[in-house]
């Protein structure tokens, strides 16, 4: 896979309103978009999505939902094919997310990863 770097981090939270001060005031992230149950923050070259969840139904609790890595669109479908050939469990996608392509899959111990072809600016274009 031709992964070109880290893309974003999605964090499940019980309350976006209660969580945002930590990221904005303590971690000094910049608010890019706030929805009813989500917020997108920019933190240097990294973007973070806080998503509010009522009941996760898992033993993991709240915390990191998945870790996303950037990949060029030209290499995306080859990577998806490799995941399938290696019988890696795909939990979402491949699908169009915003202006890019995305696929989520599980690593050992059910750690969720995502390959994503777009960036924060392109993602925010679909919210406005």
What positions carry a catalytic annotation?
114
| C-beta neighbour count of 42 within 10 angstroms | 17
Q: What are phi and psi of 37, to 5 degrees?
A: -130, 20
Alpha-carbon dihedral of residues 88, 85, 8, 52, nearest 10 degrees?
Answer: -40
């Amino acid at each position: 896979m031709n992964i070109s770097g880290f893309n974003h981090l999605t964090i499940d939270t019980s309350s976006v309103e209660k969580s945002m001060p930590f990221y904005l005031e303590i971690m000094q992230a910049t608010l890019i978009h706030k929805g009813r149950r989500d917020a997108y923050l920019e933190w240097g070259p990294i973007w973070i999505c806080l998503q509010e969840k009522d009941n996760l139904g898992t033993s993991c609790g709240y915390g990191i939902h998945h870790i996303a890595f950037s990949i060029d669109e030209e290499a995306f479908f080859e990577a998806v094919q490799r995941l399938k050939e290696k019988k890696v469990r795909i939990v979402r996608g491949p699908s169009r997310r915003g202006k890019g392509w995305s696929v989520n899959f599980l690593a050992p111990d059910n750690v969720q990863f995502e390959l994503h072809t777009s960036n924060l600016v392109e993602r925010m274009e679909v919210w406005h």
